[in-house]
A = this chain, B = another copy of it.
Amino acid sequence: MEKINIFEKFSKFTEHWEPKVIAEMNNYQFKLVKIKGDFIWHNHADTDETFIVIKGKMKIQFKTNIVDLEEGEMIIVPKGVEHKPMAEDECLVMLIEPKGIVNTGEKVSEYTALNDIWI
């Protein structure tokens, strides 16, 4: 039962688009990711995915619209929904999703990150 300081954890890495695990609740993981630029279109067939913006601004493009998110804002992307995260400047984001979810969905690409990397 140790507390976790979110900003202290963000200070432990610099790379973009490579989520790091900071906590586990049942079979769900809390991950931190630094994002900058455009990610790829993808979806997660079997699960919803939560984005919480901790610092900065980001956008999530859907097939029909774009949602702008800033610090203190969150969104749940429903399972199966195609989405493309992006950020003009670096943005710090918390992700919450079941353990084992691949960041690029079923599309393996240069953006596919190693899973279950704890910091």
A-B CB proximity, top 10 nearest: A25-B48, A3-B75, A6-B72, A25-B50, A3-B73, A4-B74, A25-B76, A5-B73, A26-B48, A23-B76
Q: In the complex, which range does the number of interface residues on chain A fall in?
A: 35 or more
- Assess A24 versus B72: contact at CB under 8 Å? Given A1-B62, A62-B1: no
Q: Which residues of B contact A79 (CB under 8 A)?
A: 26
Contacts of A116 in B (CB 8 A): none
CB-CB under 8 A for A76 and B6, given A1-B62, A1-B81, A96-B96: no
Known pairs A1-B67, A23-B76, A25-B48 / 14 extra A-B pairs, C-beta < 8 Å: A1-B62, A1-B77, A3-B74, A3-B75, A4-B75, A5-B72, A5-B73, A6-B52, A23-B50, A24-B76, A25-B49, A25-B50, A25-B97, A26-B79
**Which residues of B lie under 8 Å from residue A47 when comparing CB positions?**
26
Whether the pair A50, B30 counts as a contact (CB closer than 8 A) is: yes
Q: How far is the CA of A81 from the CA of B49 in the complex (A)?
A: 27
